A = this chain, B = another copy of it.
Amino acid sequence: MTAKAAQPDLRDDFPDSPARRAVVAVVRGFGAVQRQMGPYFAQFDLTPPQFQMLTVIHRLQDEPVSQRRLGRELYVSFPNITVMLSRMEAAKLIRRRANPLDRREKFVELTRRGESLLNRIWKVHQQQLEHVTAGLNSSEREQLTGLLNKLIFHHVPEESKMETTGVHSKT
């Protein structure tokens, strides 16, 4: 915080603002959550995205689920789904099954191993979530959720017009 002379316009730093503080807080908040969830899931030989994948497949699997569907649900690009599923298939957590009626398509389902892992995690998961959000009381948690959802859903007008290679990148 010493030298301040010389340079011309370089020292007019970026102005702070509520908008900037909010964006920074969102990014940091995510980082904090990730740093807590990472080691927790590692204990089950999973990563956070893989856990998300498992829960989504579980939730949808009353009927056949395609990989594209998973991409849309997880807000993640289709190529990424391919590689994540390949790893999870190697770990025998999920299975890909060709759709006999449309040979382009592959359905994804949990193996028994995947199901039972999910059940095992769920037994302790609520407790972990409580731990992560321990800084806030119940009403503050709801408030936070509400504000973030408002932030999120302000953009995303007509919620599915995409479909290029990537996800919602309609550019």
A binding-site residues for B, Cβ under 8 Å: 1-4, 9-10, 13-15, 17-33, 35-37, 39, 55, 58-59, 62-63, 75, 115, 119, 122, 125-126, 129-130, 132-136, 138, 140-145, 147-156, 168-169, 171
Main secondary structure of the interface of A (DSSP, over half): helix
Question: How many Å from the CB of A71 to the closest CB on chain B?
Answer: 13
Chain B residues contacting A23 (CB-CB under 8 Å) are 33, 37, 129, 132-133
Chain B residues contacting A55 (CB-CB under 8 Å) are 14
Partner of A148, one of B3, B28, B39, B154: B28
| Number of copies of this kind of chain in the complex | 2
Q: Are B75 and A138 in contact (CB under 8 A)?
A: no
Q: Are B126 and A17 in contact (CB under 8 A)?
A: yes
Q: Are A21 and B145 in contact (CB under 8 A)?
A: yes
User: A3 to B59, alpha carbons, bound, how many Å?
Assistant: 13
Question: How many Å from the CB of A53 to the closest CB on chain B?
Answer: 13
Partner of A151, one of B9, B32, B130: B32
User: A138 to B134, alpha carbons, bound, how many Å?
Assistant: 26
Q: Are B171 and A21 in contact (CB under 8 A)?
A: no
User: A20 to B1, alpha carbons, bound, how many Å?
Assistant: 42
